[in-house]
Every structure is written in structure tokens, then in C-alpha cells.
Amino acid sequence: MTNKYMYFIANWKMYGNLSSLNTLNKIIKFSKSKEINKGRLIYCPPYTLISAFSKKFKNCQIGIGGQNCHESISYGPYTGSVNAKMLKNIGAHFVIIGHSENREKGENDKLINLKIKNALLAKLKVIFCIGETLTQKKKKKTEFVLSKQIKVGLNSVKNKSNIFIAYEPVWSIGTGVVPKSKDLFKTINFIKSKFKDKSPKVFYGGSVNPQNINDLKEINNIDGFLIGGASQNTKKFIDIVKKTYT
Ligand code: 13P
């Protein structure tokens, strides 16, 4: 059981449409109840829904984020792209950067670094995703990979007070497999040890669900969860928060 201030971030990926707005009534009600305890809820829907979510959450404490942004801070001829300023303008407070689903498509650490710097300039808080693939894990390269992702991704980012790190092992995303508790504790500590002064808060993401949250919540160096599949089901998402605090 924990009594800590914890973040619960719903990453909806490429799911949802206008009718999904109806499913949010339950979470709004929950966010105003005592049961939320010290949980901080953040929704990251697809770009198309950010504005509508932001209006829907107008009178409650639920945060809104984008799932990515373009690396340029100014407008430009970049078909299909959205930058951090545009996200801020439609009501986002956060942005996920460096998700492995985007790294897979070619986003490298340098590009991620540029995105992070420009997102901070646009006054967004950044949820910076890092994590190793299964092959890297098998080759015992996890710490090497994470160190490089942190070093390059946060290169010349002096003020880290608006950075959150999400450790998402690629082999755990959408697979139902989560790392062993003792391994996860060790990796989160390793990530925190990379920061000389104060470490950013570190979240865990990868197959978090109402069944495994009882074990995950016992890992006391985790500051929150980035939740994909289970977050699209409001009941499951609420269950995860409730179980964290019981
Ligand atoms: P799942 O919870 O569906 O494994 O997704 C995790 C994730 O990628 C969150 O960003």
C-alpha cells in the first residue's frame, strides 16, 4: 500500500473518437471523489480529441497531453505534423516524447532531444519515454541503452523540473509481460542515479492492468504509471488508481 503522490497517465494511442467523450463522465466523477487519494490523472488522447477532452475536463483536475510533437517550434511546411506550441494552444499541459512506437519509425535520440527542448520552450511538461528492446535486454545492454537515451535525449536541458521519465521496456508494451519486481526496482534506481542533483520523477509503462497493479504498487521508487490498453477502459483505469491506494 502506498500513500504517495502518484501519476496515472492514460496513453490512448491511435484509439478514440467523439463518442469516447461519453466514457469520460465516470473518470470526472472519480477525479472529484476522495477515492482518488493522492493520484494525479493525465489523459493523452490522439491530436483530434485534445481540444474536446480539454473542454470536457474544464472543471476538474485532470491533465491533458499530446502523444508526440514535431521538432520545430515555429510553423512550417510539415504536412501532417503538429508542434508543441499548437498543443499548448489547444489546452495540452503535457506531451509524451520518445515513445518506442515512434522510435521504431525512425525517431532517434538527437531528434528526441530537439523535441524535448522545444516542448519545454512551449511550456509543456515532458513525459520522456525510454526503454530497451528484447534483444538489448537479452544481450544485457539495458543500462547501456538507457544511459545513452538519457544522455542524448536530455543533452543541454539544464532545468529538468518539467521533465518526467517513463521507463517502458519495449518487450513489455502490449504483451502482458511486466518485468520482475526486483529487476524493475533496480532499473528505476539506475535511472534515478543518472541525475546528479534531483532526479525527475520516474514512471513505469508496459502492460499495467488491474491485475498486476497490486505487485507494481509495492515497488516504492516508481512515481507513476503510463498506461496504454487498460486506460481506454475507464473502469479498468479507475481500478488501477483505486488499487494503488488500497
Ligand atoms: P500498454 O499498457 O498497452 O502495454 O502500453 C504501454 C504504453 O505504451 C504506454 O505508453
Read off the pLDDT of residues 106-127 as tens digits, 9 standing for 90 and up.
999 999 999 999 999 999 999 9
CATH class of 6-244: alpha beta
User: pLDDT tens digit string along 5-56?
Assistant: 999 999 999 999 999 999 999 999 999 999 999 999 999 999 999 999 999 9
Better-predicted residue by pLDDT, 234 or 197: 234
Residue with grid cell 512515481, as numbered in its chain: 223
Mean pLDDT score across all residues of the chain:
97
Cα–Cα distance list, 56 to 42, 76, 136, 155, 220 (Å): 13, 30, 42, 36, 33
- pLDDT tens digits for range 68-107: 999 999 999 999 999 999 999 999 999 999 999 999 999 9
Could you give the CA distance from residue 173 to residue 127 in angstroms, rounded to a whole number? 16
What whole-number distance in Å separates Cα of residue 240 and Cα of residue 8? Answer: 9
Residue 180 above 80 pLDDT? yes
Asked if residue 1 has pLDDT above 90, the reply is no
Is any atom of ligand 1 closer than 6 Å to the C-beta of 173? yes
What pTM was computed for the model? 0.98
Distances (CA, A) of 134 to 139, 156, 166, 170, 175: 9, 29, 17, 7, 12
Domain ranges of the chain: 6-244
Q: What is the pLDDT of residue 124?
A: 98
Distance CA(71)–CA(188), nearest Å, equals 28
Report the residue among 165, 204, 208, 237 best suited for mutation to probe ligand 1: largest number of ligand atoms under 8 A from its CB. 208
Specify the residue with its C-alpha closest to ligand 1, atom 9.
228
